Amino acid sequence: MSISAELGHCMSNNTLILGIETSCDETAAAVVSRHADGTGRICSNVVRAQWEAHKAYGGVVPEIAARAHIEVLDDVIKLALEDAGFGFPELNGVAATAGPGLIGGVLVGLTTAKAIALVHNIPLVGVNHLEAHALTVGLTDGLAPPYLLLLVSGGHTQLLIVRDVGEYVRLGTTVDDALGEAFDKTAKLLGLGYPGGPEVERWAERGDAGQFAFPRPMKGRAEPHFSFAGLKTAVRQTAERIAPLAESDVADLCASFQQAVVETIVDRVRVAMTLYGEKLGSDAPRTLVVAGGVAANQAIGGRLRAIASSHGFAICVPPPALCTDNAAMIAWAGAERLARGWTDGLDLAARARWPLDPDAPPAIGAGVKA
């Protein structure tokens, strides 16, 4: 399809939403078109990463991230509009991450969206970052709820039933570290690069997953909660015991860690599949959606495809670029909410914490990660 045809497809009788994402260390803006039949198209999707600014620290420094967002967000928005071939007058709304996330970064994006909404007199939609991950498959695959969601990212690891837009039932959550956090901390411990997840996966390909017997936390529990702090500690203790580490040791540690993660996730997802059927009934659509940055891990994805198939579930994973933080998913979630008449005022507050299922019973030990 030609560029002009693409733009025409985005414009004709569709809703155009500008999305802004600044919840962590990616500054992103995108324009998404929502069609009258509920399908969508990405007109532009610009992501400016900050990896180099945080690499020396082995993790994201909130103050550095917030300043970086301020420095580049205007240019990122301008580029997203230019790539889409539109200006502010053509927009039907602006959506921005309102939480959860690093509060300084969230404030930068949300304040910018409020200014755009006010100046151009268009609706503002505050988006829950987790909901954006949850709904991405509607944009990429045309998949409508209900479905079972495994959300695995740097800040969250949860299993939820997505009943509809704005309606979520949390089945399980992490009681300590999120999975992406565990990958990053393991990488830092072993002296690998940042971001840690892809580095651990790369080293694991060269290692022996049976070399070290790491624990499978929470395996066999009736509730599909997660725990990764003990696994991370086991890696550290083993690394200290066998130091100094040869490259083969690092590879074996990564492979053994990743294998423990895979087996833990598969066990937790198996429990969640049973609960999904019990709560929605045998006639409910059976699809497992995997979203969040860790969804790009090939070892995890391969085993999840196998467990889904054996339990009669289809599996749906967005493209890797839409699993990590991006603004197309924010724009899409905003478009879905706007289609239902849900908008926000200029007094909308940014939120560092924002659970998808605020009525979920507390998970013992989970604290703010619930």
Tell me if the bond preceding 146 is cis, omega within 30° of 0: yes
User: Is 3.30.420.40 the CATH number for 144-317?
Assistant: yes
Q: What is the pLDDT of residue 97?
A: 98
Instruction: Name the nearest CA neighbour of 259 among 213, 312, 324, 292.
Output: 213
114-171 pLDDT, tens digit per residue, is 999 999 999 999 999 999 999 999 999 999 999 999 999 878 899 999 999 999 999 9
Helix axes of 247-280 and 229-242: crossing angle, nearest 10 degrees: 170
Instruction: Inform me whether the pLDDT recorded for 288 exceeds 60.
Output: yes
Using one digit for the tens of pLDDT, what is the confidence trace for 354-370?
999 999 988 866 655 54
Mean pLDDT calculated for residue range 276-284: 95
pLDDT value of residue 92: 98
Reply yes or no on whether the pLDDT at 225 is more than 60.
yes
pLDDT band at 250 (very low <50, low <70, confident <90, very high): very high
The verdict on domain 3-138+322-369 having CATH code 2.40.50.140 is no
Where would I find the beta strands (DSSP E) of the chain? 15-21, 26-34, 40-49, 93-99, 124-128, 147-152, 157-164, 167-173, 287-291, 314-316
**How many residues does this entry show for the chain?**
370
Report how far residue 346's alpha carbon sits from residue 96's, in angstroms, rounded to the nearest whole number.
12
Dihedral sign from CA coordinates of 3, 39, 152, 341:
positive
Least confident of 2-6, 107-111, 289-293, 357-361: 2-6
Q: What is the mean pLDDT of residues 270-276?
A: 97
Q: Which pLDDT belongs to residue 53?
A: 81
CA dihedral 132, 135, 140, 142 (to 10 degrees): -160
Confidence of residue 193 (pLDDT cuts 50, 70, 90): confident
Q: What is the pTM of this model?
A: 0.92
pLDDT of 4 higher than 90:
no
Q: How far apart are CA 370 and CA 361, in angstroms?
A: 9
Distance separating alpha carbons of residues 91 and 75, to the nearest angstrom: 18
Report the pLDDT value the prediction gives residue 5, as an integer from 0 to 100: 37
Sorted by sequence, the CB contacts under 8 Å of residue 285 that are 6+ apart come out as: 146, 147
Kindly tell me if the per-residue pLDDT of 11 is higher than 80.
Answer: no
- Residues whose CB falls within 8 Å of the CB of residue 244, separated by 6 or more in sequence, listed in order: none
User: And the tokens for 296?
Assistant: 């790009």
For CATH 3.30.420.40, list the domain ranges present in the chain.
3-138+322-369, 144-317
Handedness of CA 209, 213, 218, 222 (dihedral sign): positive
Rounded Cα–Cα distance for residues 132 and 163 (Å): 14
Q: How many CA atoms lie within 13 A of 260 on its CB side?
A: 30
What proportion of the chain, given as a percentage, has pLDDT over 90?
A: 84
Amino acid at 150: L
Instruction: Pick the closest to residue 214 from 270, 168, 253 (CA basis).
Output: 253
Predicted pLDDT of residue 49: 86
Q: CB neighbours of 90 closer than 8 A, spacing ≥ 6?
A: 11, 16
Determine the Cα–Cα distance for residues 345 and 110; give it in Å rounded to an integer: 12
Over residues 81-90, mean pLDDT? 97
Which strand (E) or helix (H) includes residue 106? helix 103-120
Mean pLDDT on 76-80: 98
Pairing of strands 157-164, 147-152: antiparallel
> So what's the pLDDT on residue 166?
97
Q: Is the pLDDT of residue 266 over 50?
A: yes
